[in-house]
Amino acid sequence: MLQFLKRFLTDETAFIGLVRGVALGAGGAVTAGQVPMVPSEWGVALMVIGGAIRAGDKNKKEEK
């Protein structure tokens, strides 16, 4: 369990993936009406933000 938490706190790609997942999950919950007193437009905005976050550089350049 400690190693699992350490990875999220030290590995940038894992942390970005976690933030992206939380934003998408929260946006889905708000859009579905599971969060009272929050307009559904905020859920759509959270889902857009979560979708816009990249979970790492997929085209890393090789150093020579």
- Residue 52's pLDDT is what? 86
Domain count, the chain: 1
- Give pLDDT tens digits along the chain (64 positions): 778 777 777 887 778 888 899 999 999 999 999 999 999 899 999 999 998 887 556 666 666 5
Residue 62 lies in a domain: no
Question: Which residue from 51, 55, 61, 50 is spatially nearest to 13, judged by alpha carbons?
Answer: 55
| CA–CA separation, 38 and 1 (whole Å) | 34
pLDDT of residue 11: 80
Which residues span the domain enclosing 30? 12-51
What pLDDT was estimated at residue 27?
Answer: 94
| Cα distance between residue 30 and residue 49, in whole Å | 14
pLDDT reported for residue 14: 78
What local confidence, expressed as pLDDT, does residue 59 receive?
65
Q: Is residue 47 part of a domain?
A: yes
CA 22 to chain centre: 5
Q: Does some domain include residue 40?
A: yes
Is 59 contained in some domain? no
Report if residue 37 sits inside a domain: yes
Q: Could you tell me if residue 56 is left (phi over 0), alpha (psi between -120 and 50 degrees) or otherwise beta?
A: left
